[in-house]
């Protein structure tokens, strides 16, 4: 019964409600939390700071008293001598160490106090270790005061550690906030690029259709039939030109082979004039053909008598049917080359005339212009399509990153506040917006 009455009148413990924050208000809230951490730290360490100040004063007084201390007379003389030598060095070190007064904000005060304690302990382990026998009371007091200093610094250490952890939590939450802002900005930019590329692609596709329609309409124009006929005749002439080239090669190849041997024969017998004339024929045959179609036949005609004489004398041997056909008389080779060169010239003149006519057709320039524009439009379309794909991929990556950073941000703000925190983190804009 008494338990029921106690439970009836027991005050319910307050339940800490969750915290609701606006996303835009987060920076100010984080700044306030950081300031609160600083205030709590100042309040927490103030007693230790005052105690440390008093402890250092006590330590200075204890060190000062050692200057007039007589020491233990019962100490072994050698230890007494060592102590007398160590004492000035110890007092000098301690005086120098204790000359710094901790001050400033808690972090600065703490750092100075820690360095002071380190210096004191170092001096005590150094010259101070020789003084405990000769000055037992004085050194005991110094050790006690140093322990008091260490305890107060340890107390500060706990408060400093908590403050540092809190500030790190603030920094982590601030980084998450900044990441969310940055990702959102990058996502908006990527989405904008997707839209821009989509608009550019649509425009390019429209222009491509117009160019293709223009080409289709061009092929329906009356002059396009004439253009097609001329192009077909130009292809026929190109084939004839190729054929005449093969015919010229059929003359040149065996002629070059025999004339080289004839040049050597003329050189051996000392007929330099004939050798030089045949050399000019070889130069004409092995190089580009002379502009004048009569030059090569005339050069060949000039050396044929001497060449045929070498054949009759047995200095040159005809080894195949082509050589027999071309070098049985003085007219076959030059006449054949002259005939083929003449036909080649006629073919090329006809081709050039048709090319001029073709270029003058109204539809030709229009077709060239449309084809060039169409090729450029298709290149732009490919580039814009690739750019849109990259922007879409980046947008998806940013969406994933935003979701992950959002969860991290929620846990970090909750850890900082010590309770559930609901922050209205805005969603990323939809692709359609």
Q: Are residues 104 and 250 in the same domain?
A: no
Per the listing, tokens 């490919």 go with: 382
Q: Give whole-number Cα distances, 190 to 136, 176, 184, 403, 405, in Å.
A: 77, 21, 10, 17, 18
Residues 128 and 248 grouped into a single domain: no
Check whether residue 229 and residue 363 sit in a common domain.
yes
Would 261 be classed as within a structural domain?
yes
Among residues 379, 395, 413, the one where a domain terminates is 379
- Helix then strand then coil, % of the chain, to nearest 5: 80, 0, 20
Give the helix/strand (H/E) hosting 21: strand 19-21
Q: What is the pLDDT of residue 2?
A: 34
Q: What are the beta bridge partners of residue 20?
A: 422
| 88: CATH | 1.20.120
Domain identity same for 36 and 158: yes
Q: Is residue 209 part of a domain?
A: no
145 and 276 inside one domain: no
Same domain, 247 and 144: no
Q: Which residues pair with 421 in a beta bridge?
A: 19
Which residues, in sequence order, are CB contacts of 358 under 8 Å at separation 6+?
227, 230, 231, 234, 364
Series of mean pLDDT values for 10-residue runs along the chain (433 residues)? 38 52 86 91 92 92 82 63 80 90 92 93 86 82 92 92 92 91 91 89 89 81 77 91 91 90 90 91 78 77 90 89 90 91 91 84 76 88 91 90 88 82 80 58
Q: Which spans in 98-135 are helix H?
A: 106-125
The counts of H helices and E strands in the chain are 11, 2
| pLDDT for residue 13 | 39
Estimate to the nearest angstrom the gap between the alpha carbon of 213 and the chain centroid.
42
Handedness of CA 297, 299, 305, 309 (dihedral sign): negative
**pLDDT value at position 369?**
83
Tell whether 195 is covered by a domain: no
Task: Tell me how far the alpha carbon of residue 131 is from its chain's centroid.
Answer: 67
Which pLDDT belongs to residue 359? 78
Whole-number pLDDT of residue 373: 86
Question: Are residues 87 and 235 located together in one domain of the fold?
Answer: no
Confirm whether pTM is higher than 0.85: no
Neighbours of 131 (CB within 10 A): 24
The number of folded domains in the chain is 2
Residue 385 counted as domain residue? no
Q: What angle do CA 42, 45, 50 make, to 5 degrees?
A: 110
CA-to-CA dists, residue 429 to 189, 374, 422, angstroms: 11, 36, 20
Q: Is residue 14 part of a domain?
A: no
Identify the domain boundary among 131, 146, 169: 169
Same domain, 146 and 234: no
Do 251 and 114 share a structural domain?
no
**DSSP code of 269?**
T
Q: Which domain holds residue 273?
A: 222-379
Residues 142 and 57 grouped into a single domain? yes
The answer as to whether 162 is a domain residue is yes
- Among 335, 363, 379, the domain boundary falls at 379
Contact of 423 with 409, CB cutoff 8 Å:
yes
The answer to whether residue 81 is domain-embedded is: yes
Burial class (CB in 10 A: 0-12, 13-18, 19+), 390: middle
- Same domain for 242 and 370, yes or no, is yes
417 phi/psi in degrees, rounded to 5: -80, -20
- DSSP three-state, residue 139: helix
- Are 229 and 372 members of one domain? yes
Is 392 a domain residue? no
Instruction: Look up residue 288 and give its two tokens.
Output: 């580009």
* Chain centre to alpha carbon of residue 291: 58
């Amino acid at each position: 019964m008494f338990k029921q009455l106690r439970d009836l009148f027991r005050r319910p413990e307050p339940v800490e409600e969750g915290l609701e924050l606006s996303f835009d208000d987060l920076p100010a809230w984080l700044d306030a939390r950081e300031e609160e951490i600083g205030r709590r730290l100042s309040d927490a360490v103030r007693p230790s700071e005052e105690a440390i100040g008093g402890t250092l004063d006590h330590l200075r007084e204890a060190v000062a008293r050692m200057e007039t201390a007589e020491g233990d007379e019962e100490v072994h003389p050698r230890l007494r001598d060592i102590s007398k030598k160590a004492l000035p060095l110890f007092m000098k070190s301690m005086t120098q160490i204790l000359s710094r007064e901790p001050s400033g904000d808690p972090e600065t005060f703490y750092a100075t106090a820690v360095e002071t304690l380190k210096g004191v302990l170092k001096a005590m382990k150094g010259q101070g270790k020789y003084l405990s026998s000769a000055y037992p009371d004085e050194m005991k007091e110094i050790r006690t005061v140093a322990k008091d200093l260490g305890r107060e610094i340890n107390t500060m250490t706990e408060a400093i550690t908590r403050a540092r952890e809190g500030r790190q939590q603030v920094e982590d939450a601030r980084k998450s906030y900044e990441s969310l802002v940055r990702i959102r900005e990058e996502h908006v930019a990527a989405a904008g690029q997707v839209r821009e590329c989509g608009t550019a692609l649509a425009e390019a596709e429209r222009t491509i259709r117009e160019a293709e329609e223009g080409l289709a309409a061009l092929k329906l124009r009356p002059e396009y039939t004439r253009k097609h006929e001329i192009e077909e005749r130009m292809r026929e002439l190109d084939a004839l030109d190729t054929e005449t080239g093969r015919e010229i090669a059929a003359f040149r190849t065996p002629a070059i082979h025999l004339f080289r041997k004839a040049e050597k024969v003329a050189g051996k017998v000392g007929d330099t004039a004939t050798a030089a004339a045949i050399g000019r024929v070889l130069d004409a045959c092995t190089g580009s053909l002379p502009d004048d179609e009569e030059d090569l036949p005339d050069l060949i005609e000039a050396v044929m008598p001497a060449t045929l004489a070498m054949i009759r004398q047995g200095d040159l041997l005809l080894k195949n049917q082509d050589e027999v056909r071309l070098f049985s008389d003085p007219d076959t080779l030059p006449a054949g080359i002259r005939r083929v060169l003449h036909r080649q010239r006629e073919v090329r003149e006809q081709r050039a005339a048709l090319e001029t006519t073709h270029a003058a057709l109204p539809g030709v320039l229009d077709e060239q212009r449309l084809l060039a524009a169409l090729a450029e439009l298709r290149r732009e379309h490919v580039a814009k399509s690739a750019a849109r794909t990259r922007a879409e991929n980046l947008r998806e990556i940013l969406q994933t990153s935003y979701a992950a950073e959002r969860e991290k941000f929620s846990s970090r703000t909750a850890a900082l506040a010590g309770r559930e925190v609901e922050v209205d983190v805005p969603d990323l804009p939809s692709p359609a917006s």
